[in-house]
Structure 1
Amino acid sequence: MTDTDAFAGRKARASDWFRTLRDEIVAAFEALEVSHVTGPFSEAPAGRFEVTPTSRQADDGSDAGGGLMSVMRGGRVFEKVGVNVSTVYGTLGAAAQKAMAARGVPGIEEDPRFWASGISLVAHMQNPHVPAVHMNTRMFWTPGAWWFGGGSDLNPCLEYDEDTAHFHATQQAHLAPHGATLYPELKAWADEYFYIPHRKRARGVGGIFMDDRNTGDWEADFALTQDIGRAFLPAYLPLVEKRRAMPFGETEKDAQLVHRGLYAEYNLVYDRGTKFGLATGHDANAVLMSLPPMAKWV
């Protein structure tokens, strides 16, 4: 059931979906830039995404997939935001193969071929009142297994309870068709996954997260992955629109920079996607796109 021929159509559908979601988010973010006409940074030129193809090469120099890195810097609303998509394939290196085997991926020790596709988004904002945000969904295939993973989480440096409530309620509504127990399960998973042990705190106010999602029903798991992606814009855009024109001073900006340091620590030390991207030879700039443009440690 997981051989290349049987899964070719499913791979194409997943890859196409991640690209479609990327296009929708890029368009929505550029529209936010244009519509920001009052408040801090509104006199600056509206930001636009710079789009760069990315590529991955196998050890023998052959093509092993790639994608698009879309980054906006120094806009009216976004200080730095990246929306990347990629589809990569080939043979896992020894370290990645060992890690997959340790996770119980069947057959990976005998056949290290893999295919992976996904979207990854991180937004760092100009105004400290606007929360940073992360979203990632992906599909992974090996000859012996397949699964989906990802989610989204909110990372404000200045917390507003109503913003947190809206973000979570929107995600819960999008997950409701997939079962009443799913949202609390994925929320709890996010709380555990986005925790920073050496700081003894979460990196933000949570969201939803899943990994190794394989119920045996590919269509159902793909539909869930799509709805996680569909929840992102309605969960996040209203928060940006509400906060982007608020005044702020040095105290708020300092809090933002310190919180960004926390975000950078997590992504460099714990994030599974960062480790996998670097270990499999994907474009390092695309993998590290999540890092903030400026940060501070106290």
Structure 2
Amino acid sequence: MSDGFEAEKATASAWFRQLRDDIVSAFEGMEDSHQGIGSAGRFEVTETKRSADDGSDAGGGLMSVMRGGRVFEKVGVNISTVYGQLGDAAQKAMAARGVPGMADDPRFWASGISLVAHMQNPHVPAVHMNTRMFWTPHAWWFGGGSDLNPCIEYSEDTAHFHDTQKAHLDPHGADHYPKLKAWADEYFYIPHRNRARGVGGIFMDDYCTGDWSSDFALTQDIGRAFLPAYLPLVEKRRNTPWDDADKDTQLVHRGLYAEYNLVYDRGTKFGLTTGHDANAVLMSLPPLAKWF
């Protein structure tokens, strides 16, 4: 593959930025509309930078984090576009995933959005979403998805989350939703706990049919599904009364989330091994958690 992917890279990067802006606006609007204690939460935005080993520019992004809001206890919506050459460990990881030619030409480019929300009210589920594009001179692919992580599960909430995702994927083919749901069930699993970290969602990685426009359109609809899948659940549960036992249940469940992200999550491993801003990479960790 030649380097003639500049237009596609720019298009993907701009889309992730627009999705970020839409989500940030929607979340701040939810804060404004909630009649809770204190001021409505706002995102603190920090520019992140990645430097190559020789100190040259290697991209970066925006880390947007809200802490201590009326609805959101901690939520991060990060975007990044990074590039350069993969180090030895990252090259080996890519080679193990079947990416050809990395030893000969280890250049890469990656752009995406990553979101994790931890909520004040234990009845409101935590959630994760990300979409991304990865390019090397030898291959390109998309990845991402979203999954719901309630500490107190409501079956109707789970059904709404999945039904909304299915509705966004079905126009791309009836086989996409069941395939991506099964992929999420396998990926968002904690082997050392013998359980899933939540109630699932959709997920894909290394996705490339050879038709960039079609694959990007699918990736966009994974992103577009997020707000209609999630915001109605926040609206429904944010005023539900809760007690200390509910909060304890939430903190223990957050411990599972932290374990997964630190031990198994591919994005965490990639971000840390390629020298991206550690605070941005670890944004997904909850503000408080508890273990037995």
Q: Judge same fold: TM > 0.5, yes or no.
A: yes
Deviation at 1:79, TM superposition (A): 0.2
Equivalent in the alignment of 2:216: 222
Letter of the 2:24 counterpart: V
- Equivalents in 2 of 1:120, 1:104: separation in Å? 24
The yes-or-no answer on 1:73 pairing with 2:72 is no
- Equivalents in 2 of 1:109, 1:210: separation in Å? 25
The yes-or-no answer on 1:207 pairing with 2:193 is no
The yes-or-no answer on 1:13 pairing with 2:11 is yes
- Equivalents in 2 of 1:285, 1:122: separation in Å? 14
Query: Which stretches of structure 1, 4 residues or longer, exceed 6 Å deviation after superposition?
Result: none
- Paired residues for 1:254-293 under 5 Å: 254-293=248-287
Equivalent in the alignment of 1:110: 104
- Paired residues for 1:18-97 under 5 Å: 18-37=16-35, 42-97=36-91
- Equivalents in 2 of 1:211, 1:245: separation in Å? 36
- Paired residues for 1:118-267 under 5 Å: 118-267=112-261
SS where residue 193 of structure 2 aligns? coil
SS where residue 296 of structure 1 aligns? coil
Compute the RMSD of aligned alpha carbons: 0.4
Unaligned runs of 5+ in 1: none
Deviation at 1:265, TM superposition (A): 0.0
Deviations 1:277-296 (A, max 9, x none): 00000000000000000000
Q: Percent identical across equivalent pairs?
A: 82
Deviations 1:236-259 (A, max 9, x none): 000000000111000100000000
- Equivalents in 2 of 1:150, 1:280: separation in Å? 19
SS where residue 157 of structure 1 aligns? coil
Deviation at 1:102, TM superposition (A): 1.1
- Equivalents in 1 of 2:76, 2:51: separation in Å? 22
The yes-or-no answer on 1:3 pairing with 2:2 is yes
Deviation at 1:119, TM superposition (A): 0.0
- Equivalents in 2 of 1:102, 1:246: separation in Å? 47
- Equivalents in 1 of 2:178, 2:281: separation in Å? 29
Deviations 1:31-60 (A, max 9, x none): 0000001xxxx0211000000000000000
- Equivalents in 2 of 1:8, 1:269: separation in Å? 34
Deviations 1:51-85 (A, max 9, x none): 00000000000000000000000000000000000
SS where residue 127 of structure 2 aligns? strand
- Equivalents in 2 of 1:289, 1:43: separation in Å? 25
Q: Give the number of equivalent residue pairs.
A: 292
TM-score using structure 1 length: 0.98
Letter of the 1:156 counterpart: P
Letter of the 2:244 counterpart: E
- Equivalents in 2 of 1:198, 1:164: separation in Å? 24
Equivalent in the alignment of 1:101: 95
Unaligned runs of 5+ in 2: none
- Equivalents in 1 of 2:2, 2:111: separation in Å? 17
Letter of the 1:28 counterpart: A
- Equivalents in 2 of 1:152, 1:282: separation in Å? 22
